[in-house]
Amino acid sequence: MPAGEHGYVMLAVILISALIVSLTLGYSRHALIAVDATEADQAHRLDLDAVGSGLALAARNMQISGALPASHQLPDGSNVSIDVSAASATTKTISVTTGTAAAPRVVNAVAEVYPDLSESPPFLTFNAKRSVWEFPGLIDISSDTTYEDADLTGILLIRKGRKLTLENCIVRGSIVSENALSDEVWEDDETTELEIKGGLIIEPGSTLAGCAIIAPDCAITAVKAAGNRDPALQFHGVVVADSFELEGHAVFHAQLVTTQDPIFVGPVDRPGAHRKPRAWPTSLDINGQRIGRLVFPFEQPDQAARNAIQGFDWSAHPAPQRQQAQGQQVQGG
C-alpha cells in the first residue's frame, strides 16, 4: 500500500475512534443525569406519599376524636407523625413530620374544619341534659302511652323500656329518651319505642333548639293510621335513633342519624342533604370533625435550609434500595 494511503487509513481510524469515544461519553453523561433525576424523582414521590399518609392520619384522627396513635411507620422504614392543634373555632393547624430522626422533614398546613359524625351517634351535652331535667313542662312517659289528635307542647321524656304512640299529632318541642340523658350503657330491655301513626309534625322549642328526637336507643316505626292513611311526617330538627322504619312520606329538615340503616318505603325529602356541611345544634356533641379545605402556608427557607438543599448528597440515598421499598409498599397495598 502506498505511504499516502497509509496516512488516510490512520486518519480514518482516528476519526472513527474519536466519534465512538464522543458517543460513549455523551451516553454515559445522559445515563448519569437520568440516574440522578430518577433518584430525585423517587425521593420526591416517597416524600409526597409520606405527607399524604400523615394528612390522612390527621383527618381520620379528627373524625374519631384522637383515638388513633399520632405516628406510624411507613413500609420503607421511615416514620410519619402528626400534631393537630386548634388555631381558631373553625380551623386547625396540622404539622406532619416525615423521614428519620436524623433527617426529619416537616410540612405545616391549616385546615378548615366542621363538625361531623364519628363512629358513635351524637349525644346531648351536659348542659343540655340538665336543661331537660329542669324543664318545667316535662311530659313524663313512665308507662306505655298513646296520644291521638293531640297538640303537645314541651319535652316528651320516654322512660327506659317504655313505648310512646303518636297518632296524627303535633309536638311543639322535642322527644327525648331517658337513656339519652344517662352516661351508662343501656340493656336490651331498657330500649324505647316510638310508634307513629298517620301524621306527625315536630317543631323543636328553645330548650333543645334544632333537636326533634334524641333517642339513640329508640326504635321508630311509622305505620298507617285508622282509615288506611299513610304516614306524613315533618321533622324540623335533628333525629337520632337506633332504627327508623317508614311506610309513607317524610320530610327531614335537618340530619337523620340512626345506628341501623333506615328503611324507607315511600318518598323521603331531605333538603340540602349531602350538598354541603350542615350546622349541628349546639345542644349536641358530635364528637368528630372533618376537613373542609386545606391550605399550605408559604414558608421562605432561611439560609441554612438553602445550604442544606444545595449540599444534599444523593449518593447517600441509593436508588435501588428506595425503589425496592416503594415496590413493597405497592404490593402491600
Q: Let me know: does 158 contact 194? Beta carbons within 8 Å.
A: yes
In the three-class reduction of DSSP (H, G, I as helix; E, B as strand; rest coil), residue 163 is classed as strand
User: How far is CA 41 from each of CA 46, 96, 324, rounded to the nearest angstrom?
Assistant: 9, 21, 15
Q: Is the pLDDT of residue 28 over 60?
A: no
pLDDT at position 266, please? 83
Q: Let me know: does 222 contact 250? Beta carbons within 8 Å.
A: yes
Helix axes of 319-332 and 3-63: crossing angle, nearest 10 degrees: 40
Instruction: Average the pLDDT over 112-135 and give the result.
Output: 83
pLDDT at position 64, please? 59
Rounded to two decimals, the pTM is: 0.61
Q: Let me know: does 91 contact 113? Beta carbons within 8 Å.
A: yes
| Cβ neighbour number for residue 49 with a 10 Å cutoff | 18
User: Highest-confidence range of 108-117, 139-148, 226-235, by mean pLDDT?
Assistant: 139-148
For 7, phi and psi rounded to 5 degrees? -65, -40
Rounded percentage of the chain residues whose pLDDT exceeds 90: 32
Q: Which domains does the chain have, with CATH numbers?
A: 3-116+289-299 (3.30.1300), 123-285 (no CATH)
pLDDT at position 83, please? 74
Instruction: Average the pLDDT over 70-96 and give the result.
Output: 71
> Using CA atoms, how far apart are residues 137 and 119, in angstroms rounded to an integer?
33
Residue among 134, 135, 121, 235 at smallest CA distance from 179: 121
> 149-171: per-residue pLDDT in tens?
999 999 999 999 999 999 999 99
- Confidence class of residue 47 from pLDDT cuts 50, 70 and 90? low
Q: C-alpha 96: how far from its chain's center? A: 17
Q: Which of 26-35, 99-108, 198-207 has the lowest mean pLDDT?
A: 26-35
Instruction: Average the pLDDT over 52-80 and give the result.
Output: 67
Q: Is the pLDDT of residue 293 over 90?
A: no
Q: How far apart are the first and last CA of the chain?
A: 71
pLDDT at position 312, please? 75
